[in-house]
Amino acid sequence: MLTAKPVAIVFDTFGTVVDWRRSLIADLTAYGAKRGITGDWVGLVDAWRAAYRPSMDRVRHGELPWTKLDDLHRMSLDHLVVQLGFQGLTADDLVHINLGWHRLKPWPDAIPGLTRLKSRFIIGPLSNGNVSLLLNMAKAACIPWDMIFGSDLFFHFKPDPETYLGVARMLDLSPSQVMLAAAHNDDLAAARACGLMTAFFPRPSEYGPLQARDYVAEMPWDYVAKDIEDLATQLGV
Amino acid sequence: MLTAKPVAIVFDTFGTVVDWRRSLIADLTAYGAKRGITGDWVGLVDAWRAAYRPSMDRVRHGELPWTKLDDLHRMSLDHLVVQLGFQGLTADDLVHINLGWHRLKPWPDAIPGLTRLKSRFIIGPLSNGNVSLLLNMAKAACIPWDMIFGSDLFFHFKPDPETYLGVARMLDLSPSQVMLAAAHNDDLAAARACGLMTAFFPRPSEYGPLQARDYVAEMPWDYVAKDIEDLATQLGV
């Protein structure tokens, strides 16, 4: 029996579409060299990402009012540069470093795969990033989204159901007509609990030496692919 | 002195980007012929559009709670098909006719002009249409938007300031870095009152024989062009 096809496919973005770790390390290391700022850039990137989910949980659990991801990133960054002993960072440096998340680069299969999928499906990011972050990233990297579902459209972060269901509502689709594609099993589980279709492909080097999970599909997701190009092939485009 | 350039350009859509009147008349006349439904389709289209602003004003003035444009269109349609004596319309017919607004066709200069502008500026619709309407229209007509600013992102219709200012907020730009492009002087006046830049080009056949205004720029807008291609030329792309 053939698996049904969705009308719209929304993509988790950090890790799934863009290689945040390698992008940020390269970007910040080059910036540090240009500015003459020495420091543990790799350690900063890993610690910054480790602070990502706890910072969103402060919003999700009501400890902070709605705060967009750029601002959570900045709060974490301000703390980490002190903790890691970075010296000589100006206010402009901190703004530039924080906007590093707007400059992330796609995995090699992402643009060709998304371009193929766009010919038949509505495609967009469904990310905890804010619209400006995702839009600046898309403009810089030529990611051909139809619509950008930033978390600031919903005033909720994933895995809150308001995000997955918000996409369906905004597109006038039933949840079962929308598919989440992600390299993270927990994101897919939350989407499936809301009635969305699901597609998994692994990004085994996302966290570099710190990768500890998401090497394989942990549930029978609707589609399991090698990458976005393979997903396009499985979906017949 | 050269006029400053914006970072993002948002476009009024009905009339400015798409030729709603000619599109709807052609679409509904063909549908009526196929379905064997006779009636005054031209009269329906003109009366439907005449009901547009009053229907939104009911929301803007608090007489109705937030109601997306598709639903306002449907309320007006249900009333008008009775008033104009259409016979034999099924529930499916009414759904199809109402979605005619999702199938509008761009003016000839729109796609080439927007494609040129997209190379340098963030572009999107800023319309009273809902996201699904604008997205379905863009997919069908290959309109290359970067982001879709439907009124359902803001729960407000233009000319409420929440729409113009909402775009700037969502893009992390100041209002003066955003430009509204429109074929309607009143829309531009509301955008300017919020601090946006403004661009006008006329669509003198938008309302067909009922056109009564907007033949020329009534204020010294930042840019006055012949059409979207000419605007691209003036902006150097």
CA distance B209 to chain A (A): 35
Res. B1 pLDDT band, cuts 50 70 90: low
What would the pLDDT profile of B71-115 be if each residue is shown by its tens digit? 999 999 999 999 999 999 999 999 999 999 999 999 999 999 999
A141 touches chain B (CB under 8 A): no
pLDDT tens string A170-189: 999 999 999 999 999 999 99
Q: What does the alpha-carbon distance between residue A120 and residue A237 come to, in Å, rounded to a whole number?
A: 7
CB contact under 8 A, A172 and B122: no
Q: Given CB atoms, is A132 within the 8 Å cutoff of chain B?
A: yes
Q: Does A152 touch chain B (CB under 8 A)?
A: yes
Chain B stretch 70-89, residues whose beta carbon is closer than 8 A to a beta carbon of chain A: 70
- Residue contact B170–A131, C-beta within 8 A: yes
ipTM over 0.90: yes
Burial class of residue A84 (count of CB atoms within 10 Å of its CB; 0-12, 13-18, 19+): middle
Q: Is B170 on the interface with A (CB under 8 A)?
A: yes
A132: nearest CB among B138, B152, B170: B170
Scan for tokens 């499985």, then name that residue. A234
Of all residues in chain A, the percent with pLDDT exceeding 90 is 98
**B172 to chain A: which residues are within 8 Å by CB?**
70, 130, 132
Task: Reduce the DSSP state of residue A200 to 3 states and report it.
Answer: strand
Interface residue B135 vs chain A (CB under 8 A): yes
Does B171 reach chain A within 8 Å, measured CB to CB? yes
User: Would you say residue B218 has pLDDT above 90?
Assistant: yes
Note whether A111 contacts B: Cβ–Cβ < 8 A: no
**Residue B132, C-beta contacts closer than 8 angstroms, at least 6 positions apart:** A170, A171, A172, B70, B102, B150
Does A171 contact chain B (CB < 8 Å)? yes
Residue A181 φ/ψ, nearest 5 degrees: -110, 130
Q: Determine contact: A94 vs chain B, CB below 8 A.
A: no
B132 chain-A contacts, CB cut-off 8 A: 170-172
Partners of residue B117 in chain A, C-beta under 8 Å: none
Distances (CA, A) of B131 to A146, B136, B139, B207: 11, 8, 12, 24
Q: How many other β-carbons are positioned within 10 Å of the β-carbon of residue B66?
A: 12
Q: What is the pTM of this model?
A: 0.97
B105 three-class SS:
coil
Q: What is the pLDDT of chain A when averaged over all its residues? A: 97
Work out the minimum CA distance from B113 to partner chain A, whole angstroms. 18
Domains of chain B: 8-19+105-234 (3.40.50.1000), 20-103 (1.10.150.240)
- The reply to whether residue A171 touches residue B135, judged by beta carbons under 8 angstroms, is yes
Residue A1 scores a pLDDT above 60: no
**Is there a contact between B184 and B166 (Cβ–Cβ < 8 Å)?**
no
Name chain B contacts of A130, Cβ cutoff 8 Å: 170, 172
Nearest to B152 among A138, A139, A170 (CB): A170
Question: Do the Cβ atoms of B135 and A146 come within 8 Å?
Answer: yes
What's the whole-number mean pLDDT along residues A100-111? 98
Long-range interactions of A38-44: CB distance < 8 A, separation 24+? A39/A81, A39/A84, A39/A85, A39/A86, A39/A87, A40/A84, A43/A84, A44/A80, A44/A81, A44/A84, A44/A86
Of B70, B130, B147, the CB nearest to A131: B147
> Confidence band (pLDDT; 50, 70, 90) for A2?
low
Across chain B, mean pLDDT equals 97
**Interface contact B153-A153, CB threshold 8 A:** yes
Q: Render pLDDT for A200-225 as a digit per residue (tens, 0 to 9).
A: 999 999 999 999 999 999 999 999 99
- Output the pLDDT for position A231: 98
Chain B CB contacts of A152 below 8 Å: 170
Which residues, 6+ apart, have CB-to-CB distance to B16 below 8 Å?
B181, B182, B183, B184, B201, B203
HEC profile for B69-89? HHHHHHHHHHHHHHHCCCCCC
CB A96 within 8 A of CB A213: no
pLDDT of residue A3: 78
**CA-to-CA distance for B152 and B134, rounded, in angstroms?**
11
Min Cα separation A127/chain B (Å): 15
* CB proximity A176 to B under 8 Å: no
Find, among A120, A165, A176, the residue nearest to A3 by Cα: A176
d(CA B119, nearest CA chain A) in Å: 9
Q: What is the pLDDT of residue B216?
A: 97
- Residues A188, A190, A194: CA angle, nearest 5 degrees: 110
The residues with which A14 forms a beta bridge, in sequence order, are A18
User: What is the rounded distance in angstroms from the CA atom of residue B107 to the CA atom of residue A215?
Assistant: 49
Please name the residues between 7 and 66 in chain A that touch chain B, using a CB distance below 8 Å.
Answer: none
